[in-house]
Every structure is written in structure tokens, then in C-alpha cells.
């Protein structure tokens, strides 16, 4: 088993950036008893691994992707006359990636026996020549999805309500006079009215929002210009006159006769006025 594990590790251990050492081993009564957990961390670091104690402040990349780390454990297989331990490394899906050879000691004093046996087990790592090499083809395993979709939807709607209320208090919207346009008018009449809007902008020196026309699709609408070209696809939410913009982290809502499109540019919230004919 040890020979096979060593060969396996040479092609797989390099895919993992960190090793996490527990604060307490199951076969012992106290945390870091016999300073065994502290010694484990030291020996991993000695063999080139970035090593963390369980519960430490994890690096940002590990916080985002728990599958960058292997969890280490120490298995006690001691007998009457020998103390025997082996090191086990598991991936984020709890699958064993590596097992060391058994480390042994005949010392009678527990602290010395476990210390010597652990050091003996770590000899398995001396021939691995570990060096972290990111695997671009590695599939990142996600945490199991809890059955809380309804709660998440309710939270999303509540968050939208709060954001919209905040935006309403902060902005004074420019109301554009409503024009009578048929909802399916993707003909020469639309082109004519759009041209008139552009003429107003030139003559008055003010910015008139582009007129978009809504066409019903599954779960919402597609907004087209006078070309006609699809500019946005919007999805219905649980709120009246509030839509999510497909493919963008964006909210579209109505205030008066004006539609407001929230969007972020370089981390700064900006707003765009749209005139939409349904």
C-alpha cells in the first residue's frame, strides 16, 4: 500500500496547495497531546508543504476554494509491543489521496513512542519531491447544496426591495413624456419615432434616453432597438416592475414613466435611464 501511495502522490499531491492539520487526533484525549499535532505541522513544512492548523485564518484563495487543501489525519495502529501510526491525506470530497507507510517505535514512554513513530512515517514523504503545481483541468467540488432554494429566493427579493428603496431616496429621475407606440411596432413607424427622439436631443441640447421595445419571451421580455436588435433580455421577479437583466449583475426597475438600469463600473454604482415601450 505504501509503495502504491507514493507513486500515486507524485502525480496528484502536487495539485494541492495546502495541508490542514487537526488540533486533536481521535485516538488521543487532548488537543496537541504529546505535542503530536504541532510536530505533524512542522514535519509537513519540512517536506515543502504550506501547512495550516485547523481553525486558523485561512488564505483568501483557500477560503474561496476548499479543494485547494488536503486534510491530514494520523491513524493509530499500535499493538502490544509496538507503537504504529500512519499519515492519511484526504481531499475535499473526503476521498483518500495518500497514505504513508506505517511508522513504528518500540519506546515504552508514550510521548517518545508517538514522536518517533510519526517521524518514521514521514520518511514516506522524503521521496515524493512535492511541489505545488496548479491543475487547470481540476474540477472544483462545491459544498453539498442544501434544500433552501425558497429561502434564498425570498432573501434575494428582500435584498432587491432594500436596494430599490435606497436608490429611490438617492436619485431624482428625469421623466420623459410618454409616446404612443404599439408594443409590436418593429416597422418603419418605430424607425420614424426613434429619429424624432434623436432630433429632439439635437434641438434641445438634452440627453434623451434611447427608446427600446419589449417583446414577450419565456419568464420575461427581450428589449430591442429600432434596428431591431436585441439589447437586453430581462427576467421577471416577485416584485412588480422589477426585473433582473440576463447575463449581467444588474437590476431594472420603473420609477414614474422612466425605467432605471443599475450597473457597476469599476466598483462604482451607476444608473442608466431607459425608455421602454411594452
Quote the pTM value: 0.48
Share of the chain above pLDDT 70, in %: 72
Higher per-residue confidence, 169 vs 211: 211
Across 54-91, b (16+ Cβ under 10 Å) vs e yields eeeebeeebeeebbbbbbbebbeebeeeebbbbbbbbb
Owner of C-alpha cell 436596494: 163
**CATH no. for 2-127:** 3.40.50
Q: How many residues does the chain have?
A: 278
For 107-163, how does the pLDDT look when each residue is reduced to its tens digit (9 = 90+)?
A: 999 999 999 999 999 999 988 889 998 876 655 444 443 444 456 666 766 777 777
What's residue 6's pLDDT? 42
What's residue 268's pLDDT? 77
What's residue 33's pLDDT? 95
Per DSSP (E only), the strands in 117-257 are: 211-217, 220-224, 230-236, 242-245, 251-255
Lowest mean pLDDT segment, chosen from 123-127, 187-191, 227-231, 235-239: 187-191
Lowest mean pLDDT segment, chosen from 97-106, 162-171, 174-183, 256-265: 174-183
In the structure grid, which three cell numbers stand for residue 46, read together? 519540512
What's residue 114's pLDDT? 95
Nearest one of 259, 237, 183 to 215, comparing CA atoms: 183
What's residue 152's pLDDT? 62
The H or E element that residue 268 is part of is strand 268-277
What is the distance between the terminal CA atoms of the chain, rounded to a whole angstrom?
69
Higher per-residue confidence, 202 vs 241: 241
Assign 113 to helix, strand or coil.
helix
For 206-230, how does the pLDDT look when each residue is reduced to its tens digit (9 = 90+)?
A: 444 578 888 888 889 998 888 778 8
Lowest mean pLDDT segment, chosen from 70-79, 133-142, 146-155, 165-174: 146-155
Domain coordinates of the chain in residue numbers? 2-127, 158-277
List the beta bridge partners of residue 261: 252, 272
Average pLDDT of span 175-187: 45
For 21-65, how does the pLDDT look when each residue is reduced to its tens digit (9 = 90+)?
A: 999 999 999 999 999 999 999 999 999 999 999 999 999 999 999
How big is the CA angle at 243 (ends 176 and 232), to the nearest 5 degrees? 75
Q: Is a pLDDT exceeding 80 seen at residue 1? A: no
Long-range CB contacts (within 8 A, 24+) of 110-113 = 110/34, 110/83, 111/34, 111/35, 113/83
DSSP letter (8 states) at residue 15: G
Question: What backbone torsions phi and psi does residue 107 show, to the nearest 5 degrees?
Answer: -60, 145
* Sequence-separated (6 or more) residues with CB below 8 Å from residue 122: 43, 47, 87, 100, 103
Question: What backbone torsions phi and psi does residue 38 show, to the nearest 5 degrees?
Answer: -60, -40
Average pLDDT over all residues of the chain = 79
Amino acid at each position: 500500500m505504501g509503495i502504491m501511495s507514493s507513486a500515486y502522490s507524485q502525480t496528484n499531491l502536487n495539485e494541492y496547495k495546502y495541508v490542514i492539520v487537526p488540533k486533536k487526533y481521535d485516538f488521543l484525549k487532548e488537543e496537541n497531546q504529546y505535542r503530536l499535532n504541532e510536530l505533524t505541522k512542522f514535519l509537513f513544512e519540512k517536506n515543502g508543504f504550506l501547512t495550516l492548523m485547523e481553525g486558523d485564518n485561512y488564505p483568501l484563495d483557500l477560503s474561496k476554494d476548499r479543494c485547494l487543501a488536503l486534510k491530514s489525519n494520523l491513524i493509530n495502529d499500535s499493538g502490544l509491543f509496538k507503537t504504529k501510526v500512519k499519515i492519511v491525506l484526504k481531499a475535499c470530497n473526503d476521498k483518500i489521496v495518500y497514505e504513508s507507510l506505517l511508522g513504528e517505535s518500540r519506546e515504552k514512554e508514550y510521548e517518545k513512542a508517538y514522536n518517533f513513530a510519526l517521524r518514521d512515517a514521514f520518511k514516506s514523504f522524503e521521496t515524493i519531491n512535492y511541489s505545488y503545481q496548479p491543475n487547470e483541468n481540476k474540477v472544483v467540488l462545491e459544498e453539498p447544496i442544501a434544500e433552501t432554494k425558497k429561502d434564498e429566493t425570498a432573501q434575494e427579493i428582500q435584498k432587491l426591495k432594500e436596494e430599490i428603496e435606497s436608490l429611490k431616496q438617492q436619485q431624482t429621475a428625469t421623466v420623459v413624456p410618454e409616446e404612443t407606440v404599439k408594443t409590436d411596432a418593429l416597422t418603419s413607424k418605430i424607425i420614424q419615432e426613434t429619429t424624432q427622439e434623436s432630433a429632439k436631443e439635437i434641438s434641445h441640447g438634452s440627453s434623451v434616453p434611447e427608446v427600446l421595445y419589449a417583446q414577450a419571451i419565456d419568464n420575461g421580455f427581450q428589449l430591442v432597438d429600432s434596428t431591431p436588435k436585441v439589447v437586453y433580455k430581462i427576467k421577471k421577479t416577485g416584485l412588480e416592475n422589477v426585473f433582473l437583466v440576463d447575463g449581467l449583475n444588474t437590476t431594472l426597475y420603473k420609477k414614474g414613466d422612466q425605467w432605471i438600469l443599475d450597473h457597476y463600473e469599476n466598483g462604482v454604482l451607476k444608473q442608466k435611464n431607459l425608455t421602454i415601450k411594452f
